[in-house]
Structure 1
Amino acid sequence: MEQLQTGALGGFRDYLRAVGYGAGSVRMLESCTREFFVFCALPPGEVQPANILSFYAYLQVRPSQRGEGVLSGKMVDHYLYSLRVFFDWRQAVGTSDHHPLSGLQLPRLGDGRRLPLSVTETGALFAAAHHEREHAVLHLLYSCGLRRSEAVALEAVDVWPDRGVLYVRRGKGARRRVVPLASRAAASLGAYLRWLSVQLPGGSQRLLVGSRGQALTGDRLCRLVRELGERAGLDAVVTPHRLRHSIATHLLARGMSLEQVRDFLGHRHADTTQIYAHFQNGGL
């Protein structure tokens, strides 16, 4: 174990710091990974899927050290997430082409409220939109990955469909960023801006407005996307964050790098973005 600490785990810790994980996340990932290797008593290159499954079963009955009872489902998810990041790292740097979690479909044990929509569900959601404003909202939250607060704060002058960009001037932590517009998103937002100019010929400062020209609130935005989900016949409750989560997961699944998705979403640390990576295969 001491050799593992100075070797694989040491390199893993350095990697996490190098790609921008926060200090707390580095400690958590390293600690969870270390506990796995104590449990299985094998070097990384000899770990098999059966060892992961045994550890998964153990975690579900492992006593919690912070209170009575066993580990929460969310904590079990954290352990398996840590192992996926660890073996992803070893595979990425060429230390090993062996990934014992590859192909394993382990269900998440947390509450599941943040599970992303599938590509098919996302398509159904767009098909259910009938109004220029509804299409614009979906493109802002999904195609552009905006937070709810960012979407309602957008002004009409922040969107440039002809240049293929929009500007987030009031991002989380007062950070600004430029978000690229895919062709469909640019066309949809262009159509919405033209509709807006007809409905409000005097101009509107805010991009998203209600039927009477009043700025759309965050609560109204949530109701709108939830109603779209119901209209599309989706079982999942659709929220602005779920759409943002979904585009992050889909971009990672298409091969976009973690750093590119981090910048696209406006995250400060890579660990915030990495959370989405383990949803690519439908589980942990």
Structure 2
Amino acid sequence: MKSLPIYNHEYQKQIENFRNYLKALGLNEGSQNMLPSCVREFLNQIEKQGTQQIQNIRQSQIQSHYEYLQHRPNQRRIGNLSNSMLNHHMYAIRKFFNYLEQTNTITINPTSNIEFKRLKSKQREVLTTKEIKELYEAAATLRGKAILGIFYGCGLRRTEGEKLNMNDVNLKTKLLYVREGKGKRRRVIPINKQVNEDFKNYLYCERGEYITIKSPKDAFILNKKGNRMSGSSYNDTLKEIIQRTGDKELQAKEISLHNLRHSIATHLLENGLPVEYVRDFLGHQYLEATQIYTRVNFNKL
């Protein structure tokens, strides 16, 4: 969606202004990128229909776009967009027009009288400890094991993994520092013995192979070109590891980095760790978020 062309200068300007607005609100980098991307796809369709001014966009065009999205193929996997992604698209469009109304760019908000039923998202997959073990065994590189350690062993969010720097990982004290998590909250995560060993092996035995003249000195994980590893590259690496397991059932599941975070939270709770500890481990502000996040029966807590 980021590569979809927008030729209308007003549309280009408003997409960039919207991005800056989201940044000013303090939204995380993922939202700062994803929401404008959803708006870009919408305006790309509007531009094709011949509408060249934002104030001329009609409610019916938004409803038609919603219907289009329900049948649009998913660009990353077989099938259509998930309910969760459909919700994101419509949330982005509504927030965009609310922003335009607040800045007096438009006088009539075409989303004001539209009610989009929030679609129920598919319950996120939790990997079993056996499947996690399969992933570790299938990781062909030391970097692959380090990546599993970041998102499963330490339960980091995608954006937190992207920002991870060398000085955030203290192998001596076995502590990982999240300097700016969701809501700009900081936290310190204990690194278990095996994950610490995997980090050490990657850092001292393999990371040097990826370094180039242009490589950032502070990035903990580097990609094949020597650049800081992006969220999409992390996901691609995870998918490669999943394919190498040879486990057809595991391969059939929709697994992303967040599934690893979801899985470690569930496993910690199932093993009897207090929910308050898991809340701090995940970086949740409220206890309720941790309880909803996991799929553990509360009788086990």
TM-score calculated relative to the size of structure 1: 0.57
The answer to whether 1:120 aligns with 2:133 is no
Report the Cα distance in structure 1 between the residues aligned to 2:235 and 2:212, rounded to whole angstroms. Answer: 27
User: After the TM superposition, which residues 1-284 of structure 1 pair with which residues of structure 2 at under 5 Å, given as runs?
Assistant: 112-195=122-205, 198-199=208-209, 200=211, 204-232=217-245, 233=247, 234=250, 235-279=252-296
Q: Equivalent pairs: percent with the same residue?
A: 36
Q: Is contact 2:142–2:206 with CA below 8 Å preserved after alignment?
A: no
Report the Cα distance in structure 2 between the residues aligned to 1:243 and 1:280, rounded to whole angstroms. Answer: 19
Deviation at 1:196, TM superposition (A): 5.0
Q: Please, which runs of 5 or more residues in structure 1 have no aligned partner?
A: 1-73, 75-109
Aligned to 1:278, the other structure's residue is in SS state: coil
Q: Please, which runs of 5 or more residues in structure 2 have no aligned partner?
A: 1-83, 85-119
Q: Is contact 1:267–1:273 with CA below 8 Å preserved after alignment?
A: yes
Report the Cα distance in structure 2 between the residues aligned to 1:128 and 1:185, rounded to whole angstroms. Answer: 16
Structure with more relative contact order (C-alpha pairs < 8 Å, separation 6 or more): 1
Q: Is contact 2:151–2:257 with CA below 8 Å preserved after alignment?
A: yes
What code does the residue aligned with 1:268 have? Q
What code does the residue aligned with 2:177 have? Y
TM-score calculated relative to the size of structure 2: 0.54
Report the count of equivalent residues.
174
What code does the residue aligned with 2:153 have? S
What code does the residue aligned with 2:129 have? V
Q: Is contact 2:212–2:226 with CA below 8 Å preserved after alignment?
A: no
Q: Is contact 1:250–1:280 with CA below 8 Å preserved after alignment?
A: no
What code does the residue aligned with 1:187 have? E
Q: Is contact 1:166–1:178 with CA below 8 Å preserved after alignment?
A: yes
Deviation at 1:113, TM superposition (A): 4.6
What code does the residue aligned with 2:180 have? R
Deviation at 1:272, TM superposition (A): 1.1
Deviations 1:141-160 (A, max 9, x none): 00100001001100011111
What code does the residue aligned with 1:247 have? I
